[in-house]
């Protein structure tokens, strides 16, 4: 091993050996302990969420709009629809651009410096705080329009989807064996056809699940919506007006001092989590089977 390891002087006999065995057990214990310490609160979060959410969820949650303070009942129907509108705008923008970016890196930019730079930038962009996106979209769209709107919220979320989708699409396309492409080209299929209907199609389960993962991630984003979509206590589906969103409503209710609103916040959190768990599970299921497994 490296020469700068400071080894303790070798002592002959049992004491040295005893110490090493002891240290080994100590380390094992520490690692197992760390895992338990980490998993315990995580399971606690999950269990508590399920418990609280399930006990506060009812039919009215999905059919009614929020009621004023003091009145019992009400739901988040407008927020659920609002989230749907926002996510539709975001997907319309993020999915095509993201997939096209991934196609460029995997199919046209192999071993090119530009493709490496795009990949690197996408990774870095993935780590940019979502609230910063919110500010940028605020000055870009909300200020000229002079009012908050669903459109601006959707664009903010769409921009956040692009780097994630680009990276997963690229990874999935790289898993498609090279000879599939060669077979297509050998038959005289033009390159663009081969990319779209052979390579992308072969990788489509992976690409779709990558999109779902990005979708689930932005579905829970609150920070970029605070001053773009802004939230709305009433029905609205217009893209030009402020619109309600599930995570936004959870935030507003969570920091409020009313028990009834807290109950709704828990129910909303559960709905959000179910959406995310289902898509993550789907991703794992699809990624773990099919033509892609063991290809690369």
Partner 1 sequence: MAGQADVTQRTESGASPGGEPSPSPVRTYLLNCGSSSLADRTFSFLMLLCALSIFAIVLLILIELISGSKLTISKFGMSFFFGSAWDPVNGNFGALPFIYGTVVSSILSLIIAVPLAVGVAIFLTEMCPAWLRGFLAFFTELLAAIPSVVYGLWAVFVLVPLLRQYVNPFLINTLGWSGIFAGPNYGIGMLAAGVILSIMILPIISSLTREVMSAVPYAQREAVLALGATRWEMIRMGVLRNARIGIVGAVILGLGRALGETMAVTMVIGNRPEIARSLLAPGYSMASVIANEFSEASDELYLSALIEIGLALFIVTIIVNALARVLVWAVTRGAPVRGT
| Residues ≥6 apart with Cβ < 8 Å to 55 | none
The CA distance from 294 to 296, in Å, is 6
For position 2 contacting partner 1 by CB under 8 A, the verdict is yes
Write the secondary structure of 111-136 as one string of H (helix), E (strand) and C (coil): CCHHHHHHHHHHHHHHCCCHHHHHHH
For position 174 contacting partner 1 by CB under 8 A, the verdict is no
Cβ at position 238, least distance to partner 1 in Å: 20
Q: How many CB atoms lie within 10 A of CB 65?
A: 16
Cβ at position 81, least distance to partner 1 in Å: 19
Using CA atoms, how far residue 158 sits from 130, 221, 247, in Å, is 12, 11, 16
Binding positions for partner 1, 4-23, rule CB under 8 A: 5, 20-21, 23
Q: Which member of 60, 189, 239, 286 binds partner 1 (CB under 8 A)?
A: 189
The CA distance from 73 to 257, in Å, is 16
> x/- site string to partner 1, residues 119 to 158, per CB under 8 A?
-xxxxxxxxxxxxxxxxx-xxx------------------
User: With CB under 8 A as the contact rule, which of the stretches 62-70, 75-83, 159-167, 204-212 interacts with partner 1?
Assistant: 159-167
For position 296 contacting partner 1 by CB under 8 A, the verdict is yes
Of 237, 258, 260, 228, nearest to 247 by C-alpha is: 228
Cβ at position 63, least distance to partner 1 in Å: 23
User: With CB under 8 A as the contact rule, which of the stretches 57-65, 79-87, 202-210, 244-252 interacts with partner 1?
Assistant: 244-252
User: With CB under 8 A as the contact rule, which of the stretches 55-63, 191-199, 202-210, 233-241 interacts with partner 1?
Assistant: 191-199
> x/- site string to partner 1, residues 255 to 284, per CB under 8 A?
x------x--xx--x--xx--xx--xx--x
Number of residues that bind partner 1 (CB under 8 A): 101
Q: Which member of 42, 68, 71, 257 binds partner 1 (CB under 8 A)?
A: 42
Binding positions for partner 1, 51-90, rule CB under 8 A: none
Q: Which residues of 21-52 are buried (b: 16+ CB within 10 A; e: fewer)?
A: eeeeeeeeeeeeeeeeeeeeeeeeeeeeeeeb
Binding positions for partner 1, 205-234, rule CB under 8 A: 213, 216-217, 219-223, 226-227, 230
Q: Which member of 104, 174, 239, 286 binds partner 1 (CB under 8 A)?
A: 104
- Find the DSSP H helices in the chain: 14-56, 59-63, 77-103, 113-126, 130-137, 143-145, 150-175, 178-186, 191-193, 200-202, 204-219, 246-254, 259-287
Q: Answer yes or no: are the C-beta atoms of 205 and 157 closer than 8 Å.
A: no
């Amino acid at each position: 091993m490296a020469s700068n390891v400071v080894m303790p002087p070798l002592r002959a006999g049992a004491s040295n050996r005893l110490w090493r065995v002891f240290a080994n057990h100590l380390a094992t214990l520490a690692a197992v302990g760390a895992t338990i310490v980490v998993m315990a609160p995580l399971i606690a979060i999950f269990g508590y969420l399920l418990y609280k959410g399930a006990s506060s969820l009812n039919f009215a949650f999905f059919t009614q709009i929020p009621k004023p303070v003091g009145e019992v009942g009400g739901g988040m129907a407008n927020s659920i629809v609002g989230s749907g509108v926002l996510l539709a705008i975001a997907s319309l923008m993020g999915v095509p651009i993201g997939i096209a970016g991934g196609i460029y890196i995997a199919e046209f930019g192999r071993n090119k410096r530009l493709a490496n730079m795009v990949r690197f930038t996408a990774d870095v962009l993935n780590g940019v705080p979502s609230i910063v996106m919110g500010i940028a979209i605020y000055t870009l769209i909300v200020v000229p329009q002079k009012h908050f709107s669903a459109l601006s919220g959707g664009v903010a979320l769409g921009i956040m989807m692009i780097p994630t989708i680009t990276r997963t699409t690229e990874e999935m396309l790289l898993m498609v064996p090279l000879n599939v492409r060669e077979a297509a080209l050998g038959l005289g299929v033009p390159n663009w056809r081969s990319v779209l209907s052979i390579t992308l199609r072969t990788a489509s389960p992976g690409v779709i699940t990558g999109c779902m993962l990005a979708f689930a991630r932005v579905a829970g984003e609150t920070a970029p919506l605070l001053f773009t979509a802004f939230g709305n206590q009433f029905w609205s589906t217009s893209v030009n007006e402020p619109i309600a969103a599930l995570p936004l409503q959870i935030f507003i209710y969570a920091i409020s001092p009313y028990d009834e609103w807290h109950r709704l916040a828990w129910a909303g959190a559960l709905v959000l989590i179910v959406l995310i768990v289902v898509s993550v599970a789907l991703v794992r299921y699809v990624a773990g089977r099919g033509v892609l497994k063991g290809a690369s």
